[in-house]
Structure 1
Amino acid sequence: MLRLAFLFSLQLMLCFSLLPGLALAQEAEVGATVDRSATGGAQTLDDILARQQQQKLDERFRQDNTGNPDAAAGMSEQLGTLGGVSDPELWRQLRYDTAQVTVSSGGDVGKVLVQDGGMRWLKFRAGPLRHYGSWLLLGTIGALVVFFVLRGRIKIDGEKTGRTVTRFKRVERFGHWLLAGSFIILGITGILSLFGRLVIAPYLGKVPNAVLLDLSKWLHNVVAWGFIVGLVMIFVMWAVHNIPNRTDLTWLRQFGGIIGSAHPPAKKFNAGQKLIFWSVVVFGTSISLSGVSLLFPYELPLFAKTFGFLNATGLSELLGLGQLPVALAPQEEMQLAQAWHAILAFVLMAIIIAHIYIGSVGMEGAYDAMGSGEVDEAWAKQHHSIWLEEMQGQQAQSGKDKGTVSPAE
């Protein structure tokens, strides 16, 4: 299962390289050749103006201009102790991670003295992530409100039979609510961490905001393990029931009865539930992997190995991404992991909001499946007719009559 989860994360992480606002590679796009002979190879006024206009430049003329030790003057000559490297050239070496840095502690993390990728991460977090993430959640809620006004609640056709059938066992409901409850806590604490300084601090003050975010961080880190356990439980219990089959095509063609009055047949899980299930498994697995990487900083880097795999298999070239960077600083690994973690969390929150809607106010009788575990036969026949027939067939084979099904309370 871990191998499957890792492959899922590989596929999903590829999408991240397409997102605007956060560059994966340090190298900029190569532009037209610029004559810098007048400045001795240093940047020109045109370079400065282009950078101010946020245009991409070929920075290799600076990256490679880090001095020549072979041109160093002798120790007895003027400036001999500086060797062939000036102060600006030394700072370029530090910025582009080509300097020979030695540290007494900290390992590879301590060797990184300058890492300007942090600004790209900060701008992405404060800009596109907040902007598009909030609009995604608000847009999902708004769309569901409009849908409810137009469609109303999906009711059970006719009268209830008064007979119930067990939809989910206690252990299944426990796994579901463990996953759901932990995800809600993780979503709320994650949103507070992202928007707290912007929304809470101006009104409640910086100290209350700091206390709230400190508590949110602790809850987020602790509850995350419950989410992982719940994710494993629902995968083990329900994966076999969520394998696509031909009945799903019929369900999709008829929009599952959500639009219109048709009630297509379905097994234990219909096509819509299968889409939600695999979304939770795939996105939840990738969120968990990136989250564990953040819980143990610099110990579990994911992106350099992922990009190396994509480059080696030719997938990056096939998708038009070119060669993805594999020489990532430890800090870059954490920045990419945090950004990827938040992006997938927003997507999964939007999906779960829709799931909560259909399982509560959107459909009559749906909550009973995860509430008490018992559903009325009329509801089961309307939404999961094939599954109901299978359950009744099993009861008949075991010598039980349909009339002995426990009455609804």
Structure 2
Amino acid sequence: MLLKSLRGLFALLVLPFVLTMGLGLSTSALAVDDQTSQQMANSSEVDLWHAVKTGDSGYTTKKGVESGVLINVSAIEATEIKNQYLTPAMGLAVLGVFGAFIVFYFVNGPSKLSKGYSGKMVLRWSKADLWIHWVLAISCLGLILTGINIMLGKHILEPYVGEGMWAGLIYASKFIHDYVGPVFIISWILCVVKWMPLQTFKMYDLKWFLVVGGYINFGPFKGKHPDSGFANAGEKMWFWTLTLFGLFISVSGMMLVLPGLDLPREASFAALLIHAISAIIIIAFTIVHIWMATVLSEGGMECMKSGYCDENWAVQHHNLWYDEIKANGTLEYKD
């Protein structure tokens, strides 16, 4: 009896201890499992966000180009390039080139006709040429002004106008930009096809560059009027710049505004950067072209108003062309 009583007492003492130990071990095991699961969950989450941030493709029921990509890395990079480099470059193209020509004009003055106006007007451009030029010029200026507002407006206009006015301005700029684009493309094609035969570079064009076209009114360059055909070297450079970057800006513009293309976002942002770079170059050359034709060249603007130029202007600025039409009998005066 005594032995049984001792055994019962031992069991009574030991059993709670065993149960406590077992419960403690179970709790520890559960804690370890919990920690392992949490670590696995955290690791899985890290991997998930790493994949998202690097632009990996996942699974989605939506069908389409890159529909499984949550974050497009190239889009972020393209936006940074645009904001950090292209936007300031466009501002420099507008203000820098324009400012440089103002300084040049006040220092140098315009290129005067050395023999003055002759009073005799020589046919230079046909009516078709004038139409092509002005449609191209007006559409190009419309795209430049609206494009500058789209790129720079939030920096130079938005802080000084109300939200409602800014919203209207940016909407109007985008609308005009999209619908003037096709007009520019068509007139650009006509310009390239019709005027390309006149724009081949010749050896005498090198001298034109060396003496800055005869526009310098001081120093050793004063009074130097280099040989030039129908188009001088500066006009040829402008034409080929417009031809090349007009192609880039036209193709990239269509890629950006035609929704049916369903392009990858990398292609869309590449088109955006190409469009902006081409616009900057065209803007800079357009400012140069306008200054040269209107302010720096006495008698130059008349060519694109009536299609005729003064005979002394033709002799001074395009002597080889004048000699050619005089020799072959195609010289035509205005009645």
TM-score by length of 1: 0.67
Give the structure 2 partner of residue 382 of structure 1: 316
Contact 2:126–2:307 (8 Å) recurs in 1? yes
Shift of 1:363: 0.8
1:167 aligns to 2:124 (yes or no): yes
1:370-409 equivalences in 2 (<5 Å): 370-395=304-329, 405-407=333-335
Give the structure 2 partner of residue 136 of structure 1: 93
Contact 1:90–1:99 (8 Å) recurs in 2? no
1:89 aligns to 2:47 (yes or no): yes
Q: State the identity as a percent.
A: 31
Shift of 1:154: 0.7
Deviations 1:177-224 (A, max 9, x none): 111111111011111112222222222111110111111111000000
1:286 aligns to 2:248 (yes or no): yes
Deviations 1:298-345 (A, max 9, x none): 8275xxxxxxxxxxxxxxxxxxxxxxxxxxxx2222222212211221
One-letter amino acid of the counterpart of residue 266, structure 1 = S
Alignment CA distance shift 1:135-1:252 (3 Å): closer
User: Number of matched residues?
Assistant: 293
Shift of 1:255: 2.3
Contact 1:298–1:333 (8 Å) recurs in 2? no
Deviations 1:73-107 (A, max 9, x none): xxxxx97xx99x822212323333444423333x1
Shift of 1:352: 0.6
Partners of 2:256 and 2:189 in 1: how far apart? 20
1:200-219 equivalences in 2 (<5 Å): 200-219=157-176
Alignment CA distance shift 1:135-1:250 (3 Å): closer
131, 153, 165: which one aligns with 1:196: 153
Partners of 2:284 and 2:55 in 1: how far apart? 39
One-letter amino acid of the counterpart of residue 309, structure 2 = V
One-letter amino acid of the counterpart of residue 268, structure 1 = F
1:146-165 equivalences in 2 (<5 Å): 146-165=103-122
Contact 2:118–2:312 (8 Å) recurs in 1? yes
Deviations 1:15-74 (A, max 9, x none): xxxxxxxxxxxxxxxxxxxxxxxxxxxxxxxxxxxxxxxxxxxxxxxxxxxxxxxxxxxx
Give the structure 2 partner of residue 361 of structure 1: 295
Contact 2:122–2:333 (8 Å) recurs in 1? yes
Partner of 2:207, secondary structure, is helix
One-letter amino acid of the counterpart of residue 318, structure 2 = H
Partners of 1:209 and 1:109 in 2: how far apart? 33
Partner of 1:122, secondary structure, is helix
215, 236, 240: which one aligns with 1:274: 236
Root-mean-square deviation (CA), in Å? 2.3
Shift of 1:129: 2.0
Deviates more, 1:216-225 or 1:92-101: 92-101
Partners of 1:211 and 1:254 in 2: how far apart? 48
1:114 aligns to 2:48 (yes or no): no
Q: Which runs of 5+ in 1 are unaligned?
A: 1-77, 302-329, 397-401
Partners of 1:211 and 1:300 in 2: how far apart? 28
Deviates more, 1:280-289 or 1:89-98: 89-98
Partners of 2:245 and 2:329 in 1: how far apart? 37
Partners of 2:265 and 2:46 in 1: how far apart? 23
Shift of 1:359: 0.6
Richer in helix (by share):
2
Partner of 2:135, secondary structure, is helix
Give the structure 2 partner of residue 101 of structure 1: 59
Partners of 2:320 and 2:262 in 1: how far apart? 45
Partners of 2:190 and 2:58 in 1: how far apart? 49
Partners of 2:308 and 2:267 in 1: how far apart? 47
1:44-83 equivalences in 2 (<5 Å): none
Q: Which has the larger radius of gyration?
A: 2
Partners of 1:228 and 1:278 in 2: how far apart? 15
Give the structure 2 partner of residue 345 of structure 1: 279
Partners of 1:270 and 1:196 in 2: how far apart? 36
Shift of 1:162: 1.8
TM-score by length of 2: 0.81
Partners of 2:45 and 2:260 in 1: how far apart? 30
Partners of 2:90 and 2:283 in 1: how far apart? 10
Per chain length, whose mean CA-contact separation is higher, i.e. which structure has more relative contact order (CA < 8 Å, sep 6+)? Answer: 2
Alignment CA distance shift 1:298-1:198 (3 Å): farther
Contact 2:215–2:296 (8 Å) recurs in 1? no
Shift of 1:282: 0.7
One-letter amino acid of the counterpart of residue 224, structure 2 = A
Partners of 1:172 and 1:144 in 2: how far apart? 27
